[in-house]
Amino acid sequence: MSTNFLDRIRAFLLAILLSVALAAPALGGPFEEAVAKFANDEFSDTDAAIGAVATSGNPLALAIISALREGRLSADPQSRKVFVTQGDGKVIDAATGAAVDRLPDGAAAVRLNNRLRRTVEAALGGLTLLSPDPAKRIAAAQSVFKSHDASALAVIDGALATETNKRARTAFTEARAAILLYKPDATEAEKLEAVAIVRARGDQEALALLTGLGGDVPPNVARAAASAITSIQGNLAAWSMVQNAWYGLSLGSVLLLAAIGLAITFGVMGVINMAHGEMVMIGAYTTFVVQEIIRTRYPGLFDYSLLIAAPLAFLVAGGIGVLIERGIIRFLYGRPLETLLATWGLSLVLQQAVRTMFGPTNREVGNPSWMSGAFELGQITITYNRLWILCFTLAVFAILLGMLRYTALGLEMRAVTQNRRMAASMGIATSRVDALTFGLGSGIAGIAGVALSQIDNVSPNLGQSYIIDSFMVVVFGGVGNLWGTLVGAFTLGIANKFLEPVAGAVLGKIAILVLIILFIQKRPRGLFALKGRAVEA
């Protein structure tokens, strides 16, 4: 047998021994004797101590080897005691884990040379790769995949022999392939198999690994790697389009939530409400106030803060909307320019009022635990807060559609939209419908503020960021048509995200605006025009 083959067999058996030792219960006496060898101040004894501690299975092993690498392992030659200085400055006995008041005066850091440093790194890799926690094993395997360190091959082989977790086994297989791909003495067959495994992984790290191969690989391996690179690049390009589509849906859900209330007021009442963005802002500040109360008085309810804030934001913003309609808007019907100026001035007043009450700086609104974090789907990343906002937007849209279709107020709103004079002659109090409609649109804007507080800065200028986009969505989709608003929001959101990588954020928005202007020239009533004699007149 070749020396290389015997070395691999020996390393494999050592890895199996390490795996079994980590699964076995700790033994006090031999472990203490192994730790005491660090106090001999001999490199050979330190080498033996590293191996014995790493294979002991003692829960202190990882802390001891980590402290040795970072210079936090100290030994007292007189008492032959070894100590670990923890990250917080506290000192423990390395053999027992018992707390120690301070290091003895004669204690000194355990010395390392280059060979021992490599031994320490290998021992740490083995301890992490064979950790009882599958997440740690996977993370360690991912690290090996990136570094393709050949010294970890024996431990990887040993771990694969005993691994039962499917994800961890896949990670170990990929890490082994990465090592073999760069290992000079690996056979051509092993390298070809490694290329296939890395190709199946198909992410950016796999692409970087294959791209970094030198020119000294066999021709068959080079051709296989080139084919794999082309395949991965095409795969990543497709996933990039999917990621952009997701970003577009996410942006579209935000635009829909901000515009849906405007679609109601603009469609039913014909009022250009420039203060609509401030209703969004009021909803966001309502969320802030609710969270502040919960933080100070009922911290256990923080995960329910958004569920509490959503109806309150609807009531607060809706109530303010009714007051605005009764106090200002109803005197300006039929005068759109004066309505625009009045609501624009009102938006400035509301912004200044919020600055006076809460200050001009951004306010922190926290994410509940169920809206924090992200998960991967294929090669794309989806954040939970964006996913929940999309679901929340669609739920609000469905509830609003149901209300307009199956309630008396919805029937009256549709009647007033289609023919105000005929609705009034049939006994519908159009003035009351106007007030309730404006309040409903403002309330929905308040709910939008609750959602936007999770992804944007809560400040007095929050609403100004969405008012122009909201008007574009409403006009593009069809004034007063909720389905048009839905299609318009998602269409503009997706188009914007696909244009951004090509033209940039600013030029992308300009291009969208130009396209909408050209579209309105052809279809003045938008995608889905309302029907009715009054509308068509």
In the chain, the largest separation of any two C-alpha atoms, in whole Å, equals 105
| Three-state secondary structure of 408-462 | HHHHHHHHHHHCHHHHHHCCCCHHHHHHHHHHHHHHHHHHHHHHHCCCCCECCCC
Q: Are 26 and 57 in contact (CB under 8 A)?
A: yes
Percentage, residues of the chain above pLDDT 90: 12
Highest mean pLDDT among 36-50, 146-160, 277-291: 277-291
Q: Which amino acid is at 366?
A: G
- Please state, in angstroms and rounded to a whole number, the distance separating the CA atoms of residues 454 and 446: 14
Question: What was the pLDDT predicted at 417?
Answer: 73
The larger pLDDT score, comparing residue 353 to residue 132, is at 353
Q: How confident is the model at residue 126 (pLDDT cuts 50, 70, 90)?
A: low
pLDDT tens, residue by residue, 430-453: 888 888 888 998 999 899 899 888
Q: Which residue in 399, 412, 391 sits closest to 482, CA to CA?
A: 399
Question: What was the pLDDT predicted at 287?
Answer: 93
> Any idea what the Cα angle at residue 371 is, between residues 280 and 139, rounded to 5°?
145
Helix (H, G, I), strand (E, B) or coil at 74: strand
- Please state, in angstroms and rounded to a whole number, the distance separating the CA atoms of residues 86 and 109: 13
pLDDT (average), residues 348-369: 88
Question: What was the pLDDT predicted at 292?
Answer: 92
- Please state, in angstroms and rounded to a whole number, the distance separating the CA atoms of residues 220 and 192: 8
Question: What was the pLDDT predicted at 18?
Answer: 47
Q: Is 107 exposed, middle or buried (0-12, 13-18, 19+ CB in 10 A)?
A: buried
pLDDT over 50 (residue 536)? no
Q: How confident is the model at residue 267 (pLDDT cuts 50, 70, 90)?
A: low
pLDDT over 70 (residue 271)? yes
Q: How confident is the model at residue 14 (pLDDT cuts 50, 70, 90)?
A: very low
Average pLDDT, the chain: 82
The larger pLDDT score, comparing residue 358 to residue 271, is at 358
Question: What was the pLDDT predicted at 353?
Answer: 92
pLDDT over 90 (residue 22)? no
- Please state, in angstroms and rounded to a whole number, the distance separating the CA atoms of residues 209 and 221: 13
Percentage, residues of the chain above pLDDT 70: 91
Q: How confident is the model at residue 283 (pLDDT cuts 50, 70, 90)?
A: very high
pLDDT over 80 (residue 175)? yes
pLDDT over 80 (residue 508)? no
pLDDT over 50 (residue 25)? no
pLDDT over 80 (residue 504)? no
Question: What was the pLDDT predicted at 534?
Answer: 42
